[in-house]
Structure 1
Amino acid sequence: MARGINKVILVGNLGNEPDIKYTQSGMTITNISLATSSGRKDREGNTQERTEWHRVKFFGKLGEIAAEYLHKGSQCYIEGTIRYDKFTGQDGQERYVTEIIADQMQMLGGRDEGSKGSPRKTVLPRQRSDKNAYKTWKEEEVVDDEIPF
């Protein structure tokens, strides 16, 4: 029987500085908010732009690299999988979160791209995540409050 495919590819810009947390075993977890924009023409021929915001989570060595090199405004290419999680908030209400679990990342643009525009070039080669990092993280507790709100 064929297996399903869960693959996400994003190219966008960071909306804020990376949020870094550590598990009890010391593994790095870095969260970013990535904006992607697309446009289409309406009936009158005007271009309508729409921006989507994606929650992206990096684990292990890839999380360390993302925390060090990505900054607000940085453009990057991300490959990963989509995850849907459910948790109970402090108010007792069930909450749902959709995240991209990154397993590859490539920084785009110049070194100071986050502060001003510059020619596009690769800063570092594509980085790969440890495939077992997400599983390890799910099995242990995170030191910081893991609720995304």
Structure 2
Amino acid sequence: MANSMATLSRRLYRSLLSNPRFSQASMSFCTNNISSREDPDFDELSAISDTESPLEPKDSDPSSRISGEERVMEERPLENGLDAGIFKAILVGQVGQLPLQKKLKSGRTVTLFSVGTGGIRNNRRPMINEDPREYANRSSVQWHRVSVYPERLADLVLKNVEPGTVIYLEGNLETKIFTDPVTGLVRRIREVAIRRNGRVVFLGKAGDMQQPSSSELRGVGYY
């Protein structure tokens, strides 16, 4: 699994460098096509950006108007005057579990699934059937929680995503803070939130790649 994912990542990286029209080719799976009404977090910003600016000429081209809207979204002030910085996550990995939907208190639904990548040093002790020399050169699977908010994109995810699917993601790196109803403790969960400025590209079906083993999927079900 590790070798196949590394080869796939290198091929994807080379294709991104050699093909400047990659973003246009993946528009069918991009949340930029989703209506802004599906994400109320940006409704206020969208209303501001949709109004005509007194400094902008009426005959300005649409491309400059879109870039102006993106700048308005990026200039949203933070607490204590901090800079918003960059909080974007780009992942290429295999899906661990079938996506599921949860209903929020606001009445909206969010689609959840997990994507496995490398990035964690293997600190656990080797099992009896594992060679310590081979085990030392391996890394643990890092499972990322992915939340898809736009409804139309969530429908695509539900229809096409299954365990083992190779997927490319672009989303916001966000931290959810909530109180555990059982223990009463405050918990923080880091997730990749796919909103209307994110992107999902399906790179391969589950049958085209090696399926994750049961031991690799052991740490997936945390949502």
- 91, 94, 106: which one pairs with 1:13? 94
1:25–1:95 Cα change, 3 Å: closer
Which amino acid is 2:148 matched to?
F
Alignment map for 1:1-149 (pairs within 5 Å): 3-22=84-103, 27-37=108-118, 47-60=137-150, 61-90=152-181, 91-102=183-194, 103-109=198-204, 113-114=205-206, 116-117=207-208, 149=223
Give the CA deviation at 1:49.
2.6
Aligned to 2:156, the other structure's residue is in SS state: helix
In angstroms, what is the RMSD of aligned CA positions? 2.9
Larger Rg: 2
Give the CA deviation at 1:23.
5.1
1:25–1:38 Cα change, 3 Å: closer
Which amino acid is 1:78 matched to?
L
1:47–1:24 Cα change, 3 Å: closer
Which amino acid is 2:146 matched to?
V
Return the TM-score normalized by structure 1. 0.64
Unaligned runs of 5+ in 1: 119-147
Which amino acid is 1:64 matched to?
D
Give the CA deviation at 1:25.
7.6
Aligned to 1:4, the other structure's residue is in SS state: coil
Report how many aligned residue pairs link the two structures.
113
Give the CA deviation at 1:27.
4.5
Give the CA deviation at 1:104.
0.6
Provide the rounded CA distance (Å) in 1 between the counterparts of 2:118 and 2:87.
22
Identical amino acids, percent of aligned pairs: 29
CA-to-partner distance for each residue in 1:105-125, whole Å, 9 max, x for gaps? Answer: 00011xxx22x226xxxxxxx
Return the TM-score normalized by structure 2. 0.44
CA-to-partner distance for each residue in 1:28-65, whole Å, 9 max, x for gaps? Answer: 4210111012599xxx8963233110000001221121
1:98–1:38 Cα change, 3 Å: closer
More strand by share: 1
Which amino acid is 1:49 matched to?
S
More helix by share: 2
Contact 2:93 2:115 in 1 (8 A): yes
Provide the rounded CA distance (Å) in 2 between the counterparts of 1:23 and 1:39.
31
